[in-house]
Amino acid sequence: GAGVSQSPRYKVAKRGQDVALRCDPISGHVSLFWYQQALGQGPEFLTYFQNEAQLDKSGLPSDRFFAERPEGSVSTLKIQRTQQEDSAVYLCASGPQLAQLTNTEAFFGQGTRLTVV
């Protein structure tokens, strides 16, 4: 596709429910990043993949958060037993090679807005 695609765009979950957020990066992109953006804040780094390898997961806020990219393409961010503080926009970004996020809008997805009620 022309850019990074994230689904669903919006998700409402009851507290305690598990959710899965999907990111389809640009075809052939090596790097993939997940970010969490709370209302009125900048994006906070969650985790980074290079192909299928998760090289950095230091930003995942708790062991309820889990990300995978098993075939080095599509990635899924899973949140178990959701809590109200998980409410945020989850952004995915991809790059052609190590950290090479160049000047095109297509490199960031539009995000998934998660609301936990």
Partner 1 sequence: KQEVTQIPAALSVPEGENLVLNCSFTDSAIYNLQWFRQDPGKGLTSLLLIQSSQREQTSGRLNASLDKSSGRSTLYIAASQPGDSATYLCAVMGNNNDMRFGAGTRLTVKP
Under the rule (CB under 8 A), what is the footprint of partner 1? 4, 31, 33, 35, 40-45, 48, 50, 55-56, 58-59, 91, 93, 98-99, 101-105, 107-111
| Residue number, 3 or 64, with CB nearest to partner 1 | 3
Parallel, antiparallel, or unpaired for β 10-13 and 88-95?
unpaired
| Residue number, 64 or 113, with CB nearest to partner 1 | 113
Amino acid identity, residue 89? V
CB of 93 to partner 1, least distance (A): 8
CB of 81 to partner 1, least distance (A): 27
* Whole-number Å distance between alpha carbons of 86 and 90: 10
CA dist 72 → 26, 30, 52 (Å): 11, 7, 4
Q: Which helix H or strand E contains 58, and what residues bound it?
A: none
CB of 60 to partner 1, least distance (A): 13
* Whole-number Å distance between alpha carbons of 60 and 66: 8
| Residue number, 17 or 51, with CB nearest to partner 1 | 51
CB of 75 to partner 1, least distance (A): 15
Q: What three-state secondary structure class fits 13?
A: strand
| Residue number, 18 or 52, with CB nearest to partner 1 | 52
